[in-house]
Structure formats: C-alpha cells, structure tokens
Amino acid sequence: MIDFLVIGGGIAGTSAAARLSELGSTTLLEGEDALAYHASGRSAALFEQNYGKPSTVALNAASRAYHEQAGVLSPRGIMLVANADQTAQFKADLADMMLPEISVADALEKFPILDTDKITHAAFDPDAWDIDTDKLVQGFARAARANGCEIITKAQVTGITRTPKGWIVQTQSGTYEAQNLVNAAGAWVDQIAQMAGITPLGVTALRRSMARIPAPVGFDTKGWPMVFGAGESWYAKPDAGALIVSPAEEDPVTPHDAYADDMVLAEGLDRYGQHVTAPVTQLLSSWAGLRTFAPDRTLVLGPSTQDAQFIWCAGQGGYGMQSAPAASQLLADFVSGATPAIPDEAVRALSAARFT
C-alpha cells in the first residue's frame, strides 16, 4: 500500500505529486495518454501576481520565486483597453487588477494595431509574464519521479472503494491501493468524490474558447503585451508569431474533452475586432479548455472534513499555472501539519475545511 494516490495529471496533480512524494510513497494516475491533456495544456498561461481573489493573490506571490528559479517565465506585460461607453467598467478593472493608467498614445506604441478612434482608456503593467506550461508541468513530474513517484497514464478511474486502511482504486490500467486519496481531477473532481462516497463540492466547469489567428501583415508581435477588453470581454496574446484571441466566455458545461463553440468564438473575435485596425480574415486553429471553480471561486486544498484520508486539490479555475508552486506546497503543509508560508487568512480561505 502506498501513502498517496493522486488522481489527475494536470498542473494540480503533478505539482501535488511532487510535493507529496517528499512525504511518502506516491503514485499519480492520469486517464489520458499524456499529462496536462485538458485545461493545463490549453491555458493562455500568464503570471500576473494580482490576478484573482486575495487568497489566490497570496498563492501567486508565494509562487513567484519558484517560477523564476525554474526558468519558466518570459516577459510579456498586460494591457487593459476600453472605449468611452466602458468607462465605469474600466475603472473597476483598474482597482481590481491594480494597473497603472497610461495614455492611449502610449498604449498604441505597445500594441500598434489599436484603433485609437474608438479606444479612450488604457492601462499597462510590465510585471506580467508568459509561463512555459510544458516546462512547468514536466519540471514537477521530474521532481515527483526523482522522489520515487510512479506516473501512470491511460489510467481512467472506474471505481473507488473505502477500506479500513485506505482506498482501493480501480482503473483501466489496473488496481491501486493507498492510504490517502488525492482528488486533483480538474473538471471531474465531483465525479471522483461521488465514487469515493464523499459529498461533491458543487464545482462548475466553465468552457473558454480560443482562436489562433495570423499576425497582422507587416508586424512582429513578439514584444506585444497581452491585451484585455474591459470586463474581460475578450483578450489577445502573442503566440509564436501569431495571436491568440479569446472571447473569455465562462459557459457552464458538463466535464468533457472541450472544443470551441463557433458562434461564441465569432462573437469574441468581433469584440476584439472592434478595438483594432487589423481585421480578422483567417482562423489558423481553435480549441477550448475547461476552467473549474468551486461555488466561492476559490481553490479547495487539503483533507475533507468527512474523511481526512480524502484530500482535495480542486477548483484551480484560471489560476492553476501561476499558483501551482504555492498551492501544492500548502496542500503538503495541510497533510504534514507544517506551518504554511502564506498568511493565515489565505490559508483559511483555501482550506477544504470550509466545506463542512
């Protein structure tokens, strides 16, 4: 019998496995052919420290040193733009994101296809960074393996049984027995909980569609910032010589292998197009991911109040990549009884103990 069996091979599961493998024998199960197949492999992946609720911001801040030492960050910057009709929303966004306002002329220098006949407000922060998601996930996976963790793909869970000593988990690749079960199954966390006889959290899987379009003719997008419309009504980000554009929708869906909604994508591209001078004439590719939130839109970490040997690692939403180093460490702290490095208020907000 192993000490920890982690279900889910996204950034939540791989980072949890890396931390928990320092505390005891660990196995990670992933139902797909490879790690980070679903949301983690489809993330826009920006490290913006002030993005999220206060508890998420605390995790972001505590994760920064790990990201820098792992070499997964590269400069990007973040910009917010709005027209005259969006003034109130723009000011609310400024307060939430703590972005300094800049002139429209300065914004045009940084993102030269902005339509300055329509845009009246802009803000910019250079302290936002692209995250190399594959490098981050694989780094945690290497750390887990170095500690003796076995990572098993094509291991979709088909049954879970509670025993006096722990758990027996049946999968398509075999049966596994562990003292502690770690639920890091992303959009499927409530399904795993039900299989284990644990009350579901009531998480919601929200689809977010993405389009990859060619860079505007005559422009090099490499140094452009990521740009958001007011109210996060759309965003655009440079990506390997092209642009990723998203309608930034949050449409509730059942957990599945997500794909872009063509109509929603078209509407988002239109909103983006209303703010720039370069029309969208070609779609290179499209995809979608599922952002999973608990009812309070805050991460859920640590042992269940129903069963201390059932450990939640859930509800990462859109913050999983940037918060993973500190979130996984907090999870391990909950398990080991160590004193967390983040503020007590954030620890209480993130703890699974809030679900009683």
* Residuewise pLDDT in 10s, the chain (356 residues): 999 999 999 999 999 999 999 999 999 999 999 888 776 666 778 999 988 899 999 999 999 999 999 999 999 999 999 999 999 999 999 998 889 999 999 999 999 999 999 999 999 999 999 999 999 999 999 999 999 999 999 999 999 999 999 999 999 999 999 999 999 999 999 999 999 999 999 999 999 999 999 999 999 999 999 999 999 999 999 998 999 999 999 999 999 999 999 999 999 999 999 999 999 999 999 999 999 999 999 999 999 999 999 999 999 998 999 999 999 999 999 999 999 999 999 999 999 999 97
pLDDT in tens, 210-232: 999 999 999 999 999 999 999 99
Q: Alpha-carbon distance 123 to 223, whole Å?
A: 17
The pLDDT, as a whole number, for residue 40 is 62
Q: Where in the chain is the domain with CATH 3.50.50.60?
A: 2-61+132-203+295-354
Q: Which residues contact 263 (CB under 8 A, 6 or more apart)?
A: none
The pLDDT, as a whole number, for residue 235 is 96
3-state secondary structure of 312: strand
Strand ranges for 263-356 from DSSP E: 285-293, 300-303, 310-314
Q: Where in the chain is the domain with CATH 3.30.9.10?
A: 78-125+204-292
End-to-end CA distance of the chain: 29
Residue for token digits 């029309």? Answer: 279
CATH topology of domain 78-125+204-292: D-Amino Acid Oxidase; Chain A, domain 2 (3.30.9)
CATH topology of domain 2-61+132-203+295-354: FAD/NAD(P)-binding domain (3.50.50)
Q: Which of these, 280, 284, 288, 312, lies nearest to 298 by C-alpha position? A: 312
- Report strand pairing: 150-152 vs 119-125: unpaired
The pLDDT, as a whole number, for residue 45 is 85
Q: Which residues contact 32 (CB under 8 A, 6 or more apart)?
A: 9, 38, 153, 154
Q: Alpha-carbon distance 189 to 316, whole Å?
A: 11
pLDDT in tens, 95-111: 988 899 999 999 999 99
Distance from chain centroid for Cα 203: 15
Query: Global pTM?
Result: 0.95
For the packed helices 11-20 and 133-146, what is the interaxial angle rounded to 10 degrees? 30
Q: Which residues contact 337 (CB under 8 A, 6 or more apart)?
A: none
DSSP 233-256: S-EEEEETTEEEEE----EEE-SS
Q: Which residues contact 181 (CB under 8 A, 6 or more apart)?
A: 5, 7, 160, 166, 167, 169, 196, 309, 310, 311
pLDDT in tens, 277-287: 999 999 999 99
Residue for token digits 């192993």? Answer: 2
Torsion angles phi and psi, residue 258, rounded to 5? -70, 150
The pLDDT, as a whole number, for residue 332 is 98
The pLDDT, as a whole number, for residue 44 is 73
Put residue 100 in one of left, alpha, beta given phi > 0 → left and psi -120 to 50 → alpha.
Answer: beta
DSSP tag of 39: G
The pLDDT, as a whole number, for residue 36 is 80
The pLDDT, as a whole number, for residue 39 is 63
Distance from chain centroid for Cα 58: 15
Q: Alpha-carbon distance 192 to 300, whole Å?
A: 15
pLDDT in tens, 293-334: 999 999 999 999 999 999 999 999 989 999 999 999 999 999
- 104 in Cβ contact with 275 (< 8 Å): no
